[in-house]
């Protein structure tokens, strides 16, 4: 009788050990799957964060800069054109400076806008002159200089008050917006004494 009870208990102990082992193995498997999911999510989040930081740096980085003075052409004491020379910054990317076609369907990548206290023109016509490059493309590369001529005739043609004309003491702002990188802001004032060509300060 005593031997029978002992055998019964031994059998139950063996079954309990197997059940415990199965439960532990199941727990380890579930924990492994959970850990994999958490690590995968963490790695994905880290990658997305890196991409966002990289995109932010690219957007904030200046890619073009002005070389030299900014000049204006006056006609009847009214500013008609603005001239400035651009170059890429150190480490800056190549910029496509194909100018606007002059039609309503603008295809240029670089947009130049005009603002003063009276008017805003989100996009305005401009042309370029290659100063030290004879390449067939309009890509501003390292060590190249492009002179940009901004046509402001539309500004004076749209004023309803003569005081709004861009003449002496008039302050205005041009924004050069490349497809990648920071916007180049040019804020200038027309001098009191004007000739046909003036140095804008």
Point out the least confidently predicted range of 19-23, 105-109, 194-198. Answer: 105-109
Residue 49 and residue 73 in one domain: no
Indicate the residue among 38, 60, 82 that finishes a domain.
60
Name the domain count of the chain.
2
Q: Which helix (H) or strand (E) holds 130?
A: strand 126-130
Residue 45 and residue 75 in one domain: no
Q: Which helix (H) or strand (E) holds 140?
A: strand 139-140
Answer whether residue 113 shows pLDDT above 70: yes
Residue 34 and residue 78 in one domain: no
Residue 81 and residue 112 in one domain: yes
Residue 48 has a pLDDT of: 66
Residue 5 has a pLDDT of: 47
Token pair of 171 as six digits: 């302050």
- Can you give the residue range of the structural domain that contains 13? 1-60
Distance, in Å, from the CA atom of 146 to the CA atom of 200, rounded to the nearest integer, reads: 19
Question: Is-contact 132 144, C-beta < 8 A?
Answer: yes
**What tens digit of pLDDT does each residue of 125-156 get?**
999 999 998 778 899 998 899 999 999 999 98
Please name the residues in contact with 88: beta carbons below 8 A apart, sequence gap of 6 or more: 63, 64, 65, 94, 95, 140, 141, 142, 144
Kindly report the pTM of this predicted structure. Answer: 0.68
Residue 175 and residue 83 in one domain: yes
Token match 């042309």: residue? 127
Percentage of residues in the chain having pLDDT higher than 90:
49
Question: Is-contact 128 105, C-beta < 8 A?
Answer: no
**17 vs 69, residue with greater confidence:** 69
Residue 130 and residue 38 in one domain: no
Q: What is the CATH number of the domain that holds 103?
A: 2.60.40
Residue 13 and residue 97 in one domain: no
Percentage of residues in the chain having pLDDT higher than 70:
79
Residue 128 and residue 159 in one domain: yes
């Amino acid at each position: 009788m005593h031997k029978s009870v002992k055998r019964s208990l031994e059998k139950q102990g063996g079954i309990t050990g197997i059940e415990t082992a199965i439960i532990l193995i199941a727990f380890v498997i579930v924990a492994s799957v959970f850990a994999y999911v958490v690590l995968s999510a963490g790695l994905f989040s880290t990658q997305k964060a890196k991409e966002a930081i990289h995109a932010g740096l690219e957007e904030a980085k200046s890619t073009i800069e002005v070389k030299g003075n900014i000049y204006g052409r006056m006609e009847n004491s009214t500013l008609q054109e603005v001239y400035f020379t651009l170059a890429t910054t150190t480490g800056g990317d190549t910029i496509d400076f194909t100018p606007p076609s002059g039609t309503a369907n603008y295809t240029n990548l670089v947009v130049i806008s005009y603002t003063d206290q009276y008017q805003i023109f989100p996009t305005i016509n401009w042309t370029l002159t290659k100063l030290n490059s004879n390449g067939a493309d309009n890509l501003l590369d390292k060590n190249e200089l492009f002179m940009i001529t901004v046509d402001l005739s539309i500004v004076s043609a749209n004023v309803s008050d003569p005081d709004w004309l861009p003449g002496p003491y008039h302050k205005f702002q041009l924004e050069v917006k490349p497809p990648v990188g920071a916007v180049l802001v040019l804020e200038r004032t027309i001098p009191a004494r004007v000739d046909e060509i003036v140095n804008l300060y």
